[in-house]
Amino acid sequence: MSHFPDWAIILAVKSGVLIFIVVTAFAYLMLLERKMLGWFQLRLGPTWCGPWGLMQPAADAIKLVLKEDLTPAGADLFIYKIAPALAVLTALLAYAVIPFGWLPDGTPIAIASPNVGILFVLAAGAVGVYGIALGGWASQSKWSLLGGIRSTAQLISYELAMGLSIIPVVMLAGTTSLAGIVAAQSAHHLWYIIPLFIPAWIYGVTALAETNRAPFDLPEAETELVAGFHTEYSSLRFGTFFVAEYINMITVSAIRTLLFFGGGDGPWVAQFPLLTVVWFLVKVGIMLFIMIWWRATLPRLRYDRLMTFGWKFLLPTSVACVIIVAGVVAAMGNR
């Protein structure tokens, strides 16, 4: 292995560990969601596998791996097989730039911190639609096609409002680097949720739509489309779509924390910089809890209302926010 410099090997190991942590987090997020939905509906949730159902993710994984891997007769085999992998690959990409906290010497704890971090996250999210669209098309089933097309239209419609809701943050912070945005919030002693609560709300709503979560889970609306884009998938390929969806949930929660809730900012971080990781994870956990809470509370939207809500309400509102914040920032100048 003498061709590779040491830092590249260390980096590859770090990346592997990070991906392992993210996938484990996914597994327990899924268990948590089932438990919580149980409590919301006065049930217990999974209890049989291990104490308190803690082995449930492992049991699910083994079950999925041991199921027969079906490919429908008419399917476009190559695309059918790579679509789930593509979905999970693009979901994992965002974690390359997310700063989880700060080291004592002031460098962000991240795989990489490019100065266009937020654009990279948006780009990775935008590519994520391919996994779903291709999976829905390649199954050559009517349900899958409708689910995939719906999902594509929904994702691109809400992506606009999402991109626009981030611009006020960029204007206040004056940088597109995620670590820089967090540092700007700490420097001003102001979480951007306070001046920018409407963009923060828009980002929250579009984040739900981008991750196909209730009340925007129309791509997989069980009552109308069987299971949407993954109707024909079985075995681990079916599970892979869920991995991608839940990893995306964690991603948008993390981005929301970084942009609007000060990242790892919190009490006592000046004395103990490593505490930023703890605060960051606590905030991401709260975001995820709220996302699951919404699923238990809200009914699913009708498709025409979903589209008009995105185009006629969220888009103009976010443009108005951009104009107002731009006016204030421009009038205050470089202060």
Partner 1 sequence: MPASPWTIIAIYFIVALVVAGVISIVPGIFTRKRPTKEKLESYECGVPPTSEFLGRFPVRFYLVAMLFVVFDVETAAFYPWAVKLKELGLFGFVEMLTFIIVLGIGYAYVWKKGGFSWR
Task: Give residues 264-283 in contact with partner 1 (rule: CB under 8 A).
Answer: none
Q: Which is nearer to partner 1, 162 or 269 (CB)?
A: 162
What is the nearest approach in angstroms of partner 1 to the Cβ of residue 289? 27
Size of site (CB under 8 A) for partner 1: 90
Q: How many CA atoms lie within 13 A of 135 on its CB side?
A: 33
Q: Which is nearer to partner 1, 282 or 320 (CB)?
A: 320
Residues 118 to 137: which contact partner 1 by CB under 8 A? Answer: 119-120, 137
What is the nearest approach in angstroms of partner 1 to the Cβ of residue 43? 28
Residues 227 to 256: which contact partner 1 by CB under 8 A? Answer: 231-232, 235-237, 240, 243
Location of structure tokens 């929250």: 204
Q: Which is nearer to partner 1, 1 or 73 (CB)?
A: 73
Per the structure block, which two tokens stand in for 123?
């780009």
Which x/- pattern, by CB under 8 A, does the window 18-47 give for partner 1? -x---x------------------------
What is the nearest approach in angstroms of partner 1 to the Cβ of residue 200? 16
Using CA of residue 271, residue 22, residue 215, residue 317, what is the dihedral sign?
A: positive
What is the nearest approach in angstroms of partner 1 to the Cβ of residue 69? 4
Using CA of residue 88, residue 219, residue 214, residue 205, what is the dihedral sign?
A: positive
CA 152 – CA 131 distance, rounded (Å): 10
Q: How many CA atoms lie within 13 A of 251 on its CB side?
A: 28
Q: Which is nearer to partner 1, 96 or 281 (CB)?
A: 96
Neighbours of 2 (CB within 10 A): 4
Which x/- pattern, by CB under 8 A, does the window 59-98 give for partner 1? ------xxxxxxxxxx------xx-xxx-xx--xx-xxx-
First to last CA, the chain: 52
Q: Which is nearer to partner 1, 207 or 291 (CB)?
A: 207
From the DSSP assignment, how many helices (H) and strands (E) are in the chain?
Answer: 13, 0
What is the nearest approach in angstroms of partner 1 to the Cβ of residue 7? 6
Could you give phi then psi for residue 12, rounded to 5 degrees? -60, -40
CA 7 – CA 14 distance, rounded (Å): 10
Residues 172 to 191: which contact partner 1 by CB under 8 A? Answer: 174-176
Residues 151 to 170: which contact partner 1 by CB under 8 A? Answer: 152-153, 156-157, 159-160, 163-164, 167-168, 170
What is the nearest approach in angstroms of partner 1 to the Cβ of residue 47? 27
Q: Which is nearer to partner 1, 161 or 292 (CB)?
A: 161
Question: Which DSSP string corresponds to 66-134?
Answer: TS-----TT--HHHHHHHHHHHHHHHHHGGGT----B-TTS-B-SS---TTHHHHHHHHHHHTHHHHHH
What is the nearest approach in angstroms of partner 1 to the Cβ of residue 269? 24
CA 216 – CA 248 distance, rounded (Å): 14
Q: Does 226 bind partner 1 (CB under 8 A)?
A: yes
Q: Does 146 bind partner 1 (CB under 8 A)?
A: yes
Distances (CA, A) of 192 to 23, 173, 184: 29, 9, 10
Q: Which is nearer to partner 1, 31 or 93 (CB)?
A: 93
Q: Does 330 bind partner 1 (CB under 8 A)?
A: yes
What is the nearest approach in angstroms of partner 1 to the Cβ of residue 247? 11
